[in-house]
């Protein structure tokens, strides 16, 4: 009788152990599947064919892949160049001769700009002597030019065909000239200039410091051109 009871108890223990083991295995499988499905997300560029409801054959919403486009051209009415972005704001060595070149590279822009839209430019500088004493701007006598290609001819005239120098103004900062006033000087560009070039005609000027470069569009200028047409 005792043997029968022990045998029956052993059988019960084996059955319970088997049931528990099966339950653990099932729960582990379910947990793994749940984890997999919760972390899975379809690509935003779903390639499956779409149904009439605008979903793919596996029921994921379809988001069209981006189409490569030409960069958008930004039309600005005013572009004030940050002096901190210039290659140099002031020549590092004093000028050794009159009309010596001081080229300043303009910064690259993170977007395409419609340079043809600008019809005026304003440039301001300060002049210094050899001892860094500031010189009266009315006698600085600097010339400022815009240059398209650093490898091209810097001696071109704005009136030349296919010119590399679309703009040139004289007597920078002189009160009788527009280039440094709020009105600015007339400008006509076909593309972005890469260099703004300064040359001083006053032998007493040792340094030129750039304080402002602003390209802008003037409605009055456009109206004058329309009237002349």
What are the per-10-residue average pLDDT scores of the chain (229 residues)? 62 65 50 33 33 39 45 89 94 94 94 96 97 94 96 93 95 94 96 96 96 94 58
pTM comes to 0.67
My answer on whether 94 and 165 are in the same domain is yes
Q: Given 43, 68, 93, which residue is the final one in a domain?
A: 68
The per-residue pLDDT for 188 is 96
Integer Cα distance of 96 and 201 in angstroms = 12
Which pLDDT value is given to residue 63? 39
pLDDT at residue number 45: 29
- 185/89 same-domain check: yes
State how far the Cα of 227 lies from the Cα of 170, in Å rounded to an integer.
Answer: 27
Whether 63 is in a domain gets the answer: yes
- The pairing of beta strand 101-105 with beta strand 195-200: antiparallel
Contact, 168 vs 145, CB < 8 A?
yes
When divided into structural domains, the chain yields a total of 2
Domain that holds residue 149: 73-219
One domain, residues 80 and 60: no
pLDDT the model gives residue 226: 55
Cα gap 200→128, rounded to integer Å: 11
Do 92 and 171 reside in the same domain of the chain? yes
Residue 206 lies in a domain: yes
3-class DSSP state for residue 123? strand
Question: Alpha carbon 51 to chain centroid distance?
Answer: 41
The pLDDT score that the predictor gives to residue 110 is 87
The answer to the question of residue 130 being in a domain is: yes
Based on the fold, state whether residues 30 and 100 are members of the same structural domain: no
Strand-pairing partners, residue 146, are: 167, 196
Residue 229: inside a domain, yes or no?
no
Identify whether residues 58 and 102 lie together within a single domain.
no
């Amino acid at each position: 009788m005792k043997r029968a009871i022990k045998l029956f108890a052993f059988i019960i223990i084996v059955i319970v152990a088997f049931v528990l083991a099966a339950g653990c295995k099932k729960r582990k499988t379910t947990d793994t599947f749940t984890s997999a499905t919760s972390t899975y997300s379809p690509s935003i560029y779903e390639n499956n064919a779409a149904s009439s409801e605008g979903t793919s054959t596996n029921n994921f919403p379809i988001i069209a892949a981006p189409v490569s486009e030409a960069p958008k051209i930004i039309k600005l009415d005013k572009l004030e160049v940050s002096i901190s972005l210039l290659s140099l704001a002031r020549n590092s060595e004093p000028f050794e001769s009159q009309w010596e070149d001081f080229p300043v590279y303009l910064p690259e822009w993170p977007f395409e700009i419609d340079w043809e839209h600008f019809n005026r430019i304003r440039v301001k500088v300060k002049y210094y002597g050899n001892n860094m004493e500031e010189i009266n701007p009315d006698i600085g006598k600097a010339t400022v030019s815009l240059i398209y290609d650093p490898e091209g001819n810097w001696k071109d005239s704005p009136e030349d065909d296919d010119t590399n120098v679309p703009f040139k103004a004289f007597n920078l900062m002189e009160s009788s000239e527009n280039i440094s006033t709020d009105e600015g000087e007339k400008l006509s560009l076909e593309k972005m200039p890469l260099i703004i070039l300064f040359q001083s005609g006053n032998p007493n000027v040792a340094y030129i410091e750039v304080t402002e470069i602003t390209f802008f569009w003037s409605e009055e200028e456009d109206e004058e051109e329309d009237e002349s047409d």
